[in-house]
Amino acid sequence: MYLLFYILPLILIIPLMIYFYFYFKRIVQYINKEIKYKWINIVLFLLSLLFVLPAFNLFGFWAVVVLHLFVISIVIDIIHWILKEKYDFFEKIYQLGIIPILCVFLVLGYAYFNMKDISKKEYTVYTQKNIQHNYKVALISDLHFGNTMNQEELEKYCNEISQENVDIVLLGGDIVDERSTNIQMRQAFETLKTIKNKSGIYYVYGNHDRATYSQNPSFTYEELSETIEKNSIKILSDESVLLQDDFILFGREDRNRGERKASSELLNEHINTSAFLLMLDHQPVDLKVNDQLGYDLQLSGHTHGGQMFPVGLISDWLGFGEMNYGYKKMEHMQVIVSSGIAGWGYPLRTGSHSEYVIVNIIKK
């Protein structure tokens, strides 16, 4: 993560400044070819500096704007180099720099729509375990409540999930974050508790829930845990719960907390390993270990499916987890990673879609 916060922005800042200096200069010279004053270069340099510097925070909205404009502009430059001898009209609009700006507006407009357009993603998982009946599980992760969704919108999706007649509801972490207000934190769990189910609502902490990335959070860890439990939601922190004689749920502490147990420690002598073993872990990690230990299914979130393209393609390199999105069948265990029902930082998503997950567990 140090790479993302400091080294990568420093590497990007200088080439971005140089590129946008010439980008702005091209526009100015096209508008007024008579400008030859030396001070204009100083002005353009300062303009490019002011334009690029706020993008130092790669997780901020302005970084999204600048990086998209840069990439799209490079593509337009290549197209211009190929077509400049053929189309005079294209030459004019190229010199004005309009096309990249319009493309950025279109991309970010789509990204906002895609973030708000939440769908149901359904999986069917087959097991050879001798479960007494089939199970239906709902998974909600990465809500980051207050960023892209208000209480009325959340109520809508809670009502949709209630219609699914699920056995259990799993909250996979990052339900709130450091930007959520105290009121929003309470609204989130007061609304989530209304989801109808047969065997309870269970929750694991994500890396953002405790608001540890803020020096002045709006709520304390104690207020958060009290609110969750007051709303009849069971917190699982490196512990298991017997839902039925044939179904055991394990909930992990987030791996960013140093005191997290090893997966093997959860499988003590009191655990009936002939039951279906479901692992709920905010981050999609320890997959090979959990597979070898004999867990049957792991459900995770955290990655947001990349949220902004092309982050999902390099998520392993960035350290977001061992799997970016979707379904994977391992030697024994099956894994499902959700892109999340919302997103963090800004209400934009191009790398994936927003979703809640329904998992049907069926005896084969």
Same domain, 253 and 122: yes
User: Residue 317 has what pLDDT?
Assistant: 54
Task: Note whether 105 and 124 are same-domain residues.
Answer: no
Confidence band of 320 (pLDDT split at 50, 70, 90)? low
Same domain, 136 and 96: no
Do 134 and 16 share a structural domain?
A: no
Give pLDDT, residue 182.
Answer: 96
**DSSP secondary structure string for all residues of 156-177:** HHHHHHHTT-BSEEEE-S-SS-
Same domain membership, residue 161 and residue 21: no
Same domain, 132 and 77: no
pLDDT for the residue numbered 79 = 87
Task: Choose the final residue of a domain: 114, 145, 170.
Answer: 114
Q: What is the pLDDT of residues 133-174, one digit of tens each?
A: 999 999 999 999 998 899 999 999 999 999 999 999 999 999
Are 253 and 130 members of one domain? yes
The residue among 363, 336, 355 whose CA lies nearest residue 134 is: 363
CA distance 239 to 174: 19
φ, ψ dihedrals at 232, nearest 5°: 60, 35
- Last-in-domain residue among 114, 133, 150: 114
Same domain? For 83 and 123 the reply is no
Domain end call among 114, 138, 164: 114
What is the distance between the alpha carbons of residues 93 and 102, in angstroms, rounded to a whole number? Answer: 11
Residues contacting 70, CB < 8 A, separation 6+: 16, 19, 20
| Pairing relationship of beta strands 239-244 and 247-251 according to DSSP bridges | antiparallel
258 band by pLDDT with thresholds 50, 70 and 90 = confident
How far is it, in rounded angstroms, from Cα 97 to Cα 24? 8
88 shares its domain with 236? no
**Number of domains comprising the chain:** 2
| 21 and 39, same domain (yes or no) | yes
CATH code, 233: 3.60.21.10
**pTM of full prediction above 0.95:** no
> Pairing between strand 247-251 and 276-280?
parallel
Q: Do 139 and 55 lie in a common domain? A: no
Is the alpha carbon torsion for 154, 205, 347, 299 positive or negative? negative
The answer to whether residues 85 and 187 belong to one domain is: no
Please report the beta strands in the chain, taking only residues with DSSP state E, as ranges in sequence order. 118-127, 135-140, 168-171, 201-203, 233-235, 239-244, 247-251, 276-280, 297-300, 326-329, 334-337, 354-363
Identity of the residue numbered 226: E
Mean pLDDT for the chain overall: 89
Residue 202 contacts residue 170 (beta carbons within 8 Å): yes
The residue range of the domain holding 189 is 118-363
